[in-house]
Amino acid sequence: MPCVSSHLGQMVKMPCSYSSVVDTIFMVEQILSEFRLNKEELKEVMKRMQREMDRGLRLETHEEASVKMLPTYVCSTPQGSEVGDFLALDLGGTNFRVMLVKVGADQERSWKVETKNQMYSIPEDAMTGTAEMLFDYIAECMSDFLDKHHIKHKKLPLGFTFSFPVRHEDIDKGILLNWTKGFKASGAEGNNVVGLLRDAIKRRGDFEMDVVAMVNDTVATMISCYYEDRSCEVGMIVGTGCNACYMEEMRTVELVEGEEGRMCVNTEWGAFGNNGELEEFRLEYDRVVDETSVNPGQQLYEKLISGKYMGELVRLVLMKLVNEDLLFNGEASELLKTRGSFETRYVSQVESDTGDRKQIYNILFSLGVLPSDLDCDIVRLVCESVSTRSAHMCGAGLAGVLNLMRERRSQEALNITVGVDGSVYKLHPCFRERFHKIVWDLTPHCEITFIQSDEGSGRGAALISAVACKMAACMLTR
């Protein structure tokens, strides 16, 4: 179904009390109008993002900048054939993957990748215990994987995708700044993550591994999409979290010595707004979401956009409408009153409804509500308002990155490809279209292509491992 804005007067069959429905529609539209950002407001968000990016890159303002612009030590997109056997480790949440990767080239010199992988769950005590416990458990799973594939005797190069905020000191050395996503393992923050993994492997003593590189998931996305399109120099994640990386001119990356070439910078833009840059754009619902989160006052831009918060924002708006006697006859179920009950997947499902309202009705019924047709249409409009603002806010941030890249390169027109991954981008029925439109509107001098990462199939992580290892080898031989 195409993405079109809902207009309540057109959607609902008007009952006898026509004037009361019109009044309800008018008041709902008034409340939801706060979510609509015009082009000038989005341009202002874009400019403020660019200012914070610049502050993050400069030595004298880096510490106080909300957008940290962390160097990754990935200094160029890869050239030549990355071939051979690799191990890939992907840690970004409560599950992690170990992969054996065989990368080669076929007769047409296109990439041929074979992978064998296994998913492991990280138990709660490993996530919240000590760093030694966590990395010992990871090493134990690696040992199990190597046993199963009869390759314990091989010392393979390992590419490590680690999706937490890290300050890199080299391509194979990164200091964990802080845990996110429910991880609290003590003794890890402030330490070299690759060193913790190497120590755990050494403690086991039953296999050897050459950990040659660690990359963030945005970098992983950029590199994997580079194989689809050699113009890909930006990677973005819009899922549970939201972040972006891009190839920045070395002369502007003051945290690292060197003037020549480019380095991939992990923006960590989810923290944009932590210094007050977004205050006039944050609504009462955003403030409640922030105050009840595990990290109040942090990741404020991410809280306007990402899937972790979208469903709860919708629930808070629905409760506001109930309290204003504009929805569900002014009465909410106990379940709807419960924080976290309106899941982000419901937002996608509501906006995927074909027009017969059955999907919307079933979701609301599961939450203990018996909605009218008008209720269903209002809920859809709320979902559209929240997810559209998310797409537009995200688009303003990316437009800021792309316009900055064009200015840095002194190009009249920038031809660029953006690789994107994440559940919101992939699964929401209308997010992509709304997001793309805003980015294109705000970047009149850029020719932008978007490609979706094939990370889910394992191909992306496989290539990341191979590319990271090749990059590390190139750097070591300089």
Catalytic residue IDs? 181, 217
**Sheet with 70-71, edge to edge strand ranges:** 70-71, 262-266, 242-249, 232-238, 414-421, 446-452
Distance CA 189, CA 175 (A): 7
Contact in structure between 232 and 419 (CB atoms under 8 Å):
yes
3-state secondary structure of 51: helix
What are the angstrom distances between the C-alpha of 403 and each of 12, 273, 413, 424? 42, 20, 10, 24
Residues contacting residue 324 through CB under 8 Å, at least 6 positions apart: 27, 31
Both tokens of residue 274?
A: 């932590």
Report strand pairing: 95-105 vs 111-121: antiparallel
Contact in structure between 236 and 218 (CB atoms under 8 Å):
yes
Angle ∠(241,467,180) on CA atoms, nearest 5: 20
Distance CA 85, CA 358 (A): 50
What are the angstrom distances between the C-alpha of 123 and each of 163, 185, 299? 18, 12, 26
